[in-house]
Structure 1
Amino acid sequence: MITRREYLKMSLAAGVALALKPGLMWAGDRELPLITRTIPGTDEAVPVVGLGSSATFRSVAEAGEYDRIRDVFAKLSEHANSVFDTAPGYGGSEEVAGRIVNELGIRERIFWATKLNVAPRGGGAADPERAMAQLERSFEYVRKDPIDLIQVHNLGDVETQLPILQEQKDEGRIRYIGVTTTFPRQYEQLEKVMEQYELDFIGVDYAIDNHTMEERIFPMARDKGIGVLVYAPFGRTRLWEKVDGKEVPDWAAEFDAHTWGQFFLKWVVSSPVVTAATPATSRARHMADNMGAALGRLPDQEMRQRMVRHIESL
C-alpha cells in the first residue's frame, strides 16, 4: 500500500487520464462509480466529498495565489453539484472563490454553502441590518441567486439570525438553511436548536478519532431529516501527525482507499447520516486525492470498527 505522497507522485505521472477519471488508476479499465447522498426530504444528490475554504485555502486566497484556487475548483467541478463550504469569517476565501467560479463558468456546477454571523465574539445580539448587509455581500460575491445553503456560523445569536435566513428562504433567495459549530461547548446548544427550529442542514466536526456526534446529534439529524456537512474530517492536522511515516494498511483496498486521506474520508462518509465531508485544501493534487474517497466502495460497519482500532493502535 502506498502513501499519500507516493500516490500524488503517481497522479502527476499518470497525467490527464487520472486528472479526468481518478478511479481508473485503481480499477484498471473499470471506472469506479461516484458515491452521492440525497439531501434529506429531497431528490437532490451531492457527491459525498466536497471542498472547504478555511486553513490553507484561506491563506492562499488572501495571498493572491489565484491559479492554485482555480486549479482546485477546476478539479472539484468534475463532479457536478459538489459542495463548496465557505464563510465571510474565512478572510478572503468567499470573495476570491466567488470570483473564480464565475471566471471558470462553473458556478452552476457547485453547491454553494456559505454562512452568516455578525454576532459579537463571545455572544451577544446580532444587528439585523449588519446581518442583511453580510448576506448581500455573499450574493454579490458568488452571483448565484438563490444560494444553495446558508448556515448560522458557530451558532451566533441563532434567535436573531436564523429567522433572517428563514425569511430569505421563504422569499426564494436561499434553498436550504442551517447552523454550524465545531466547538464541544456548543454541542448542547446545537441539540436545542435542532429541537426548536426547522433546519435543512447542520455543519459539525467528525473524524475517525472524534465520534461525539454519534452519541446524540447524528441520531437527532437522522430522525428529523437534517442533512449533515462534516468539517475537519482529518482532525485538522491531528490525524496526519498520527500517521506520519506509516503506510496505509493493505486491507484498505477492500473499500477502494489507497491513501490516508481516502482512508479517513471514507470512514467519515460511510456514516449514513453524513451528507458530505468538506476538507479544505489549496492544492489540486490533494483535491483529486480527496475526491477519490467519493469513488467505489465504502466500508461496512465491521470494517469501520476495524479502521478505528487500527488508528487507535498507532
Structure 2
Amino acid sequence: MKELCKLLCLQVSKLGFGCTSLTGAYGAPLSEEEGIKMITGCFHRGITFFDTSDIYGVDHANEILVGKALKQLPREKVQVATKFGFSRVDSSQFIVDGTPEYLRSCCEASLKRLQVEYIDLYYQHRVDTTMPIEETMGELKKLVQEGKIKFIGLSEASPDTIKRAQAVYPITALQMEYSLWTRDIEDEIVPLCRELGIGIVPYSPLGRGFLAGKQVKESLPANSKLRSYPRFVGQNFEQNKILYTRIEALAFKHGCSPAQLALGWVLHQGDGIVPIPGTSKMKNLDDNVGALRLKLTEDDIQEISDAIPLNEVAGSRSHENYLRMSWMFANTPAKDVQ
C-alpha cells in the first residue's frame, strides 16, 4: 500500500521508517542481512522514506547499513533522511556542534557511508545554542546549492529557532517526538509549522513501543536503554500500564491492534505529518503498515485523545529529560540522545 505525503516540495510515503532500532537502539542489533531485509521489506510495502543519523549505532553502523540497503533499491524512488550535530566526546558522551566546518565534514562523511550522491533531507539533530542558527543554516543553504543535500530539516528546535532558521532558507521538516502520550508540540510547534508550511516528522509515534503493548506484555531486554527512561520504571510504569489498557480496549472496538490505533491517531492529525515508527521485526512492520487502512472520525480521534490525559502520564519522556532541555543546554555533554 503506497500512500504519499508532501513535506514542502519533498514527496515521501505517508508512513516513514525510523532505522535506529536496526542497530541496537533498544535491544540487540540485527545482522547486516536482517537489517537490509527489513529496509527492502519496507520498500516493497510502500514505505520509501527512511530516517537515520550519523550517531546511530556503533561506528556509524546505521548509516552504513542503510547505504548497503539502498544499493538494492531504485534510488530515484527512495527518500533518505539523515542528521548531523553530535560530536562524540567518548563512548558515552557527546556535545552538540553546529559549526559550519563540522556540519560540512559530517555531510561529506554521511554521503560516503550512505553511498549516495545527495541526501534528500538533512537535519540538524540538535540545536547548538552557543552559536547563531543563522550561521548553521547559511552553510546548509550552501550544501543545497552544491547539490549535496536537497532539503533541510531541524530536530527538537524551539519556536524562536524555527522562525530564525526559516528566515535564512525554507525548512522542509521538523522532527519532534509526538505520540498519544507526548503531545506538548500541539500548543506552539504544530500551529507554527502550519503557518510556515513546514512538515512534521514524529519520531517515537508509538511511545518507544509502549503504546504497541510491547513493554506491557514482555519484559525489557537487559541492554535496553529504556530501562533508564522514567516512564518505563517503577511506579511510573505501573501507572502508565493503566493508560495502555484503555488503548487496548479502544483498539478492540475499532477492530485493530493497539499499535495501529496509536499510529492511526498520529496519521489523522493533519496533512504534512509523516510518522517514522521503527522496528526490528517484520511482523511489527506489517502491523504498522496496517495503520494506513484505519479510518477514524473526529469523534474517534477525540475519544482516543481522552483515553490518555496528559496529566495522567507518569514520568518525563526521556532520561534526565534531555530532549526537552537540549533547547537550553545544547552544548553540554549528554549521555542519552535520540
Q: CA deviation at 1:265?
A: 0.8
The whole-number CA distance in structure 2 between the counterparts of 1:88 and 1:170 is: 22
> Superposed, which structure 2 residues align to 1:213-292 within 5 Å?
213-239=185-211, 240=213, 241=216, 242=241, 243=244, 246-247=248-249, 249-253=251-255, 258-292=256-290
1:288/1:109 CA distance change after superposition, 3 Å: farther
1:303 corresponds, among 289, 294, 300, to 300
The alpha-carbon distance between structure 1 residues 289 and 297, as it changes in their structure 2 partners (threshold 3 A), is closer
Residue in 1 that maps onto 2:172: 200
The change in CA–CA distance for 1:69 and 1:49 in structure 2 (over 3 A counts) is same
Question: Of 145, 149, 172, which residue of structure 1 is paired with 2:147?
Answer: 172
Structure 1 unaligned segments of length 5 or more: list them.
Answer: 1-32
Return closer, same or farther for 1:251/1:124 CA change in 2, 3 Å cut-off: closer
Q: Percent identity?
A: 22
1:225-262 CA-partner distances (Å, limit 9, x unpaired): 11111101112144334337945533324xxxx21111
Corresponding position of 1:69? 35
Q: Offset of 1:93 from its aligned partner?
A: 0.8
Q: Deviations over 1:191-229 (max 9, x none)?
A: 444554431111111111222111111111111111111
Task: Give the letter for the 1:100 counterpart.
Answer: A
Relative to structure 1, is the Cα distance of residues 309 and 187 closer, same or farther in structure 2, using a 3 angstrom cutoff?
Answer: same
What one-letter code is carried by the residue in structure 1 that aligns with 2:142? E
Structure 2 residue identity aligned to 1:142: L
Counterpart in the other structure of 2:102: 130
Map of 1:147 onto structure 2: 119
* SS class of match (2:175): strand
- Report the Cα offset of residue 141 of structure 1: 1.9
The superposition leaves residues 162-192 of structure 1 with CA deviations (integer Å, 9 ceiling, x where unpaired) of 22221111222211101101xxxx5355444
Count of paired positions: 269
Confirm or deny that 1:115 pairs with 2:113.
no
What root-mean-square deviation, in Å, do the aligned CA atoms of Structure 1 and Structure 2 show? Answer: 3.0
| 8 Å CA contact 2:23, 2:30 repeated in 1 | no
Matches within 5 A, 1:24-103: 34-40=2-8, 42=9, 45-54=11-20, 56-59=21-24, 63=29, 65-80=31-46, 82-91=48-57, 92-102=61-71
1:187 aligned partner: 158
Contact kept, 8 Å, 2:13 with 2:47, in 1: the verdict is yes
SS of alignment partner, residue 175 of structure 1? strand
**Inter-partner Cα distance in structure 1 for 2:39 and 2:137:** 29
Matched to 2:152, the amino acid is: I
Contact kept in structure 2, 1:58 and 1:93, CA below 8 Å: yes
Contact 2:159–2:188 (Cα < 8 Å) also in 1: no
Which protein, 1 or 2, shows the higher relative CO under an 8 Å CA cutoff with sep ≥ 6? 1
Q: Aligned partners of 1:118 and 1:250: how far apart in 2? A: 42
CA 1:39 to 1:234, structure 2 compared with 1: closer, same or farther past 3 Å?
A: same
* Compared CA separation, residues 164 and 199, structure 1 to 2 (3 A): same
Counterpart-to-counterpart distance in 2, 1:284 and 1:290: 10
Task: State the TM-score, normalized to the length of structure 1.
Answer: 0.75
Q: Structure 2, unaligned stretches of length 5 or more?
A: 217-240, 314-338
Distance 1:302 1:190 in 2: 35
